Amino acid sequence: MTVLLIIAAVFTIIVALVGTLLVGKDINSKMQQYEAEGDTLENELARSHEYESSSLRVNIKSLSWIYVALGIVVFLVCLGIFFY
């Protein structure tokens, strides 16, 4: 039973890490796109304001869904193990 909990914990950590890395990869690709467009002061200021206004809404939402879904899966696995 302990082995199943360890396997579930490792699986959860791996899935959370992959999801977090995917969100980070998305941000990195946007940064590379911005660098390719050019670096004028006006563009950098506009991007900064855009990032400040949208990053929390988009990134936190994505990460929250990842962790909520994983929390539900872990809860169901633990519940299944408990009643097994």
What would the pLDDT profile of 40-73 be if each residue is shown by its tens digit?
Answer: 777 778 877 887 777 777 778 888 888 888 888 8
Q: What percent of the chain is predicted at pLDDT more than 90?
A: 0
Type of residue numbered 45: L
Tokens standing for residue 19: 């999801």
- Among residues 60, 77, 48, 78, the alpha carbon closest in space to that of 19 is found at 60
Alpha carbon 65 to its chain centroid, in Å, reads 8
Supply the pLDDT for residue 19. Answer: 85
- Among residues 32, 25, 62, 65, the alpha carbon closest in space to that of 47 is found at 32
Average pLDDT, the chain: 81
Supply the pLDDT for residue 70. Answer: 84
Supply the pLDDT for residue 37. Answer: 73
Supply the pLDDT for residue 1. Answer: 66
What percentage of the chain's residues is helix, strand, coil (to nearest 5)?
A: 95, 0, 5
